[in-house]
Each structure stands twice: as structure tokens, then as C-alpha cells.
Amino acid sequence: MFISRGERYLCATRRILLFVRRRIISAEAETRHICWTMTFPVLRKCVCASGCRYNCPKENSEKAIQMLCRDLPAAVDMFIAQFDIVKFNQTIALSTKQADIRAWLEKSDDCAFIANGSVLPRAKATDLPLTGATPFCSTPNDEIEVCGVRGMAIRRGVTVITGGGYSGKSTLLDAISAGIYDHCLGDGASCASPTLQP
């Protein structure tokens, strides 16, 4: 799934569930734009304006024609056949919620937020949530609601995290530090967010 919102372009792979900046699909209001790049074999020059013109050596023209006339339409047809509009809209809503939480953190006295129900531990050698892990639950004294999500906010300043071995101290810190990136649906840590500046 690849998405962007305004000038913030994002992409995610199947293995890594964090979003990184890319220019793939932009989503604004009711409009969706899909962009991709094709590299033609040994092009001498490529001039792009309102249309796209290319000039390639004769020996590579057959490969370029195959890419434009066969490979590109097939890729677009496959993309359309596999596109899930429901998941796409859910991803847009999740990305918006994560951005709203970060914006709230910028204005508040808090520096991080972890949503109740977040599954913070990762499965071994992957970025997927650990199956059977206990979901995060804030203590009643620390629980707040941010942008319609209940969880725990951490105040700015010095915070001490203590616990025995394998109690989740590093897991909590890893989830908070990874919160500067948008997360995919089903990631488990989609609403664990720090502020982007101290």
C-alpha cells in the first residue's frame, strides 16, 4: 500500500510496516493520483513536458515499445484488479489520525502517546506484531483521550522506565521512537507517537 497526504508522500512494503517518504500515490479530498517511474533501456535522452517524448537507439526501441505497450498496461490492469478501496480509505483515516495525534503532542505538555490496545512487541526477525502478546493498557491514573483514542501520554521532562528483565522497557522505547513514522493497519503500534521535536 502506498499513500501520501498533501506534501507528505509515504510508502510501505509488506515486510516493513513503517511508512517512508515516497512519491507514489497522493490523496487529497476525493482525488487520488498514482505515479510511477519506468527506466527505459539505454536511453540517450528523455524529455518530459506536458507529454512524454523519448529518443532511444534503434537497437533498444523494441524493448522500450514492449515496456510502454505491453508491460505498462499489464501492470496497471494488475494494480486495478488487486486494489482494495476499503483498506485504502482505512489507511488514509489511520494516517490522518496519526498526524492529528502528533499535532496534538506538539501543542501539549506531553512528548509521547501510546494507545490502549497497541501490540508493541515484534515477532522474531520481523516488524510484525508478536502473536499472543499482551496489548498495552495504561493505568487508570495516566489514561487520557487524544483525538478519539484512549491511551497513555508521557509528560515532557525526565521519565524513568523501570522493570525486571524482559518486562518490555526497550520494547516501549522502540515503539515510541518508531512513532515518528506512520504505521500500517495491523501493525500493532499504529498509535504510539512521539513529538517530532523536543
Contact 10, 18 (CB under 8 A): no
**The three cell numbers locating residue 148:** 478519539
Assign 157 a pLDDT band (cuts: 50, 70, 90).
very high
Higher model confidence: residue 194 or residue 73?
73
**How far from the centroid of its chain's Cα atoms is residue 61's Cα?**
38
Q: What is the pLDDT of residues 91-137, one digit of tens each?
A: 888 888 988 999 999 999 999 999 999 988 888 888 788 888 899 99
Largest CA distance in the chain: 73
Contact 71, 41 (CB under 8 A): no
Coil, strand or helix: which one is 98? helix
pLDDT beyond 90 at 150: yes
Residues 34-54: what's their mean pLDDT? 56
pLDDT at 25: 62
For residues 57 and 141, give the distance between their C-alpha atoms in angstroms, rounded to a whole number.
Answer: 71
Judge residue 163's burial from the number of C-beta atoms within 10 Å of its C-beta, 0-12 exposed, 13-18 middle, 19 or more buried: exposed
Residues 170-186: what's their mean pLDDT? 85
For residues 87 and 105, give the distance between their C-alpha atoms in angstroms, rounded to a whole number.
Answer: 27
**How far from the centroid of its chain's Cα atoms is residue 60's Cα?**
37
Higher model confidence: residue 33 or residue 125?
125
For residues 173 and 120, give the distance between their C-alpha atoms in angstroms, rounded to a whole number.
Answer: 10
pLDDT beyond 90 at 15: no
Q: What is the pLDDT of residues 126-149, one digit of tens each?
A: 878 888 889 999 989 989 999 999
User: Buried b / exposed e across 58-81, counting CB within 10 Å, b at 16+?
Assistant: eeeeeebeeeeeeeeeeeeeeeee
For residues 105 and 108, give the distance between their C-alpha atoms in angstroms, rounded to a whole number.
Answer: 5
Assign 187 a pLDDT band (cuts: 50, 70, 90).
confident
Mean pLDDT of the chain: 75
Q: What is the pLDDT of residues 73-91, one digit of tens each?
A: 888 888 888 888 888 888 8
pLDDT at 195: 56
Structure pTM?
0.66
> CB pairs under 8 A, 24+ apart, for 84-89?
87/1, 87/185, 88/1, 88/3, 88/32
